Chains A and B, each alone.
Chain A
Amino acid sequence: MTPLARAEGLSHVFPGKTGSTQALDAITAEIAPGVITGVVGPDGAGKTTFLRHLAGLLRPSAGRVEVLGHDMANNAAAAHPFIGYMPQRFGLYEDLSVAENLGLFADLHGLRDEARDERSKQLLEFTGLAPFTARQAGALSGGMKQKLGLACALLARPKLLLLDEPSVGVDPASRRELWRIVERMMEEAKSSGAEMGVVWATSYLDEAERCASVLLLHEGKVLSNAPPADFLAPMAGRVCRVTLPAAQRRRAVAVAKTLPGVLDALVQGDSLRLVLAQGAAPPDAALLGGSETKLVPPRFEDGFMDRLIAAAPPQKTASLPPVVSFADGAVIEVQHLIRRFGAFVAVNDVSFTIGRGEIFGLLGPNGAGKSTTFRMLCGLLRPSAGSALVAGKNLLTAAAQARARLGYMAQKFSLYGELTVRQNLDFFARAYGLDRTARGPAITDALARFELEAVADDLASALPLGLKQRLSLAAALLHKPEILFLDEPTSGVDPLNRRAFWARIGELAAQGVTVLVTSHFMDEAEYCDRLAIINAGRVLVTDTPAALRARVSTPELPDPTLEDAFIALVEGEAA
């Protein structure tokens, strides 16, 4: 079978002021027709650069790219009619309506008459955008924008569909729909005799697992290029689960990471999941304070971590957090909270309490009322009824002192891009009122603790996403708050950085910091001690992740993921 696209020794160097960056380093890969090829890797691995080369948008520093037999360096125009490309940033015109955007792409691809109308109608139906054709693209929700982007890319029945992280910032239900749309269009293409190959860049490993083949990039190099099964095979017998009492888990993670033969340790529900080195025996459960060690079937993510760790072994650190219990009283108390905007009830009778050192998640789709609840807790919005107390105080009326005990990390990168990492930290230290003597040590400590020393004098805007998010967290923690609010903290961050981030949050919680997280991202929910699932302004259920999964377990789906649980609960509510 001839490949759809092929990269041969493809290298790309970005020249920079402080030295050039090797974004791609001698990539050789083939893209097969008729299947989905996943492109995965940490942030800055070169996923976007690789896709841009396939779209003919960059000139290789070395090597070549061929799509449908056309050399993309000098004959990209010949391939463009057969390529559908969806850039990572929304590439459509926000001031044009859904129909007008589709019309523009139809014109650009020379679709006309019946074919044009039929195709537009079909895609509008598939994407569920048919009722919104007159709405301006800028007024669509995140998920709908991505569906419109996908529809525009699919319009001309491309032979090669390039999708650059389409599911970032999209809620789980919309994410599933994106997959459904692409898979359906592939089937349709196949039945009409013209196969469509898809290249899907993603930082979600459950998505990578669904691909026919996975291209794993790391620092611009190909680490592996194989079907997902090949990632799993070497992991057999190397993944185990240790059941632990709740108070022990966070300490156990730190201990486990220092053990020889343990590559990776992760808190999951009421247990600890360990990935072992090749040929290593499972550690004794007693060493970790647990009762039992059990081998479990590996997941794709284990194989992914295994290969990344082999490429870049992490340092084994040994800072052991103390053991604490969350028993000593509620730190955040929300009772019968209601917020109306006119006739619309954004938050409808929401209640929960969070104890000291607990990581609590507010989970729900876009528009469920998470942000509104969050703002009322921060004292930025007045409740219509009910109360929201943080450390016994209402932040709407409390003095600045009460607010000084709170750290906040916004979803959007809210630091100053024009300032360096160090200058940003200095600014936030001043803004939080740290005096001259406290400021210096706090900044030095933050740079060291968050491993930002190497980039201390780089502009914040030039950092990759994972580092930006680390810097945001460092800034939010400068004044050593007792309570930490995180708004979708690791949305779009790759698995490697996401784990490191949550390891830090776990350490903080172990030291007694109370953490409240909002998210529509199921992977983040797994790290929480307890979750409140919110939909349409109401709390559907509050429980531990393990209990939530157990709730929707059925004979057909014995081991559901949190995402399954979430969708089942939300759909059960709607029914």
Chain B
Amino acid sequence: MTPRLQRLRGLVRKEMLQILRDPSALMIAFLLPFILLIINGFGLSLDAHHMKIAAVVQAGSAQTSGVEQALDNSPYLSVYWASSAQAARQALDEGEVRGILTLRQDFAQKLARPQRWPADAQLAVNATDPNTARLLQGYVTGAFTTWLQGEAEERALSMGGGPVLETRYWYNPQLRSTDFIVPGVIALVMSMTGTLLTALIVAREWERGTMESMLASPAGMAELVGAKLGTYFVLGMGSMALSVLITVFVFGVQLHGGVLALTFTAALFLIFTLAQGLFISTLTRNQFVAAQLAFITTMMPAIMLSGMLFDIASMPRWLQWVTYLIPARYFVAAVQTLFLAGNIWSVLLPNLFGLAVAASLTVAATLAVTHRRLD
């Protein structure tokens, strides 16, 4: 064994012993991902189930009961059958329901006469939250279309055919937003745990005065940084594995891509986040400031600009350019692709390239700021 290897072995062993004795590192690595995934995975569902809606049927008939059935069958809607327009209006005002569907008096008559077909129905939506309003509109339209399609098919058969639009949802056939969000949360988890793990450890060595004796020892800076990166890399990959297991087994998100490709992607991103943490803690030399900086520099960009929640393509052009500077963006894109679509190399490779550049630049920057001096 060369002296360098022996020094590395000693330093890695030291890091491992410290991790085992200090619960905070293990908590960051395993408890934080668990909590973040559970909270975000269950709480951050973008599709709403059982949205409450009032329906007013001014004159019941065979046709309206068809609509009623279609609405009742929708898993996204929970229908309150109002006795009058006033009652429905009151429910909307009081926030009991999010919208009112009105089937007018002449609905059935119009439907019966082919030249006036289809008949009118009115949907009034509480649009204080435009996103929910749009969702509600989509679900009602969906239920309506399903029913209308059934009707049309019947009529088309009797009338001798006509075009029918068939929709297929690829990559997420069940349209579950969980499948899209949870892989994004993995990116958030890995940004935070990776950075936080290392942000604290170097700052701690400065605070406790142990860095001074390390700097005066024969260990080189690359060895000190390397031993930390290496040890915490293993811990971070364990944290990643836990996140993937939760995603697959708790949230039932299927992994379409390869495990190897996912591991490689995670490794690149982890090197970046660990190095970012080392960089922060080397500059601040203070655990408290380092932890704060780690939160600000990882949480915000990972949530806002990574594409985890908000579609990058719908951002203003200048902001889209900014997202290219956020490595979490590449990771989110790659992880979502791997989970939902599979090993699509034309998508993965550019993102992996982005991650590789980010990782090597950050490691280089960290080595540049960690010089062997106290001043």
Q: Which residues of A contact B (CB under 8 A)?
A: 14, 52, 55-59, 76-77, 80-81, 83, 85-87, 89-96, 100, 103-110, 112, 136, 152, 162
Contacts and interface: CB of A to CB of B under 8 A. Distances in A.
A56 B216 contact: yes
Contact of B17 (A92, A95, A106): A95
Contacts of A94: 208
B155 interface: no
Contacts, number: 90
B22 A104 contact: no
B44 interface: no
Given A57-B373, A76-B372, A94-B208, A109 B217 contact: yes
Contacts of A90: 209
A531 B212 CA distance: 40
Contacts of B216: 55-57, 80, 83, 85, 87, 162
Contact of A107 (B9, B22, B210): B9
B6 A58 contact: no
Contacts of B9: 107
Contacts of B22: 95
B209 A108 contact: no
Interface in B1-50: 1, 3, 6-7, 9-11, 13-14, 17-18, 21-22
Interface residues of B, number: 28
15 contacts: A52-B374, A56-B372, A59-B373, A77-B220, A77-B372, A80-B216, A87-B209, A87-B216, A90-B209, A93-B18, A95-B18, A96-B17, A104-B13, A104-B14, A162-B216
Nearest to A164: B212
Contacts of A96: 14, 17-18, 21
Contact of A95 (B21, B212, B373): B21
A442 B291 CA distance: 41
B218 A89 contact: no
Interface of B: 1, 3, 6-7, 9-11, 13-14, 17-18, 21-22, 208-210, 212-213, 215-220, 372-375
A81 B374 contact: no
A87 B213 contact: yes
B336 to A, nearest CB: 40
A110 B3 contact: yes
A106 B10 contact: yes
A81 B209 contact: no
B210 A92 contact: yes
Contacts of A58: 373-375
B14 to A, nearest CB: 5
Contacts of B6: 107, 110, 112
Contacts of B219: 108
Given A91-B210, A96-B14, A96-B17, A108 B375 contact: no
A89 B218 CA distance: 20
Contacts of B208: 89, 94
A95 B20 CA distance: 10
A77 B220 CA distance: 8
Given A14-B375, A85-B212, A92-B210, 14 more contacts: A57-B216, A85-B213, A85-B216, A91-B209, A93-B14, A93-B18, A93-B210, A95-B21, A104-B11, A104-B13, A107-B6, A108-B11, A108-B218, A109-B218
Nearest to A162: B216
Given A93-B210, A110-B6, A105 B372 contact: no
Contacts of A86: 213
Nearest to B19: A95
B172 to A, nearest CB: 47
Nearest to A73: B373
A174 B372 CA distance: 33
Given A57-B216, A93-B14, A95-B22, A107 B7 contact: yes
B71 to A, nearest CB: 63
A105 B216 CA distance: 11
Interface centre among B17, B22, B208, B213 (most CB of A within 10 A): B213
Contact of B14 (A14, A85, A100): A100
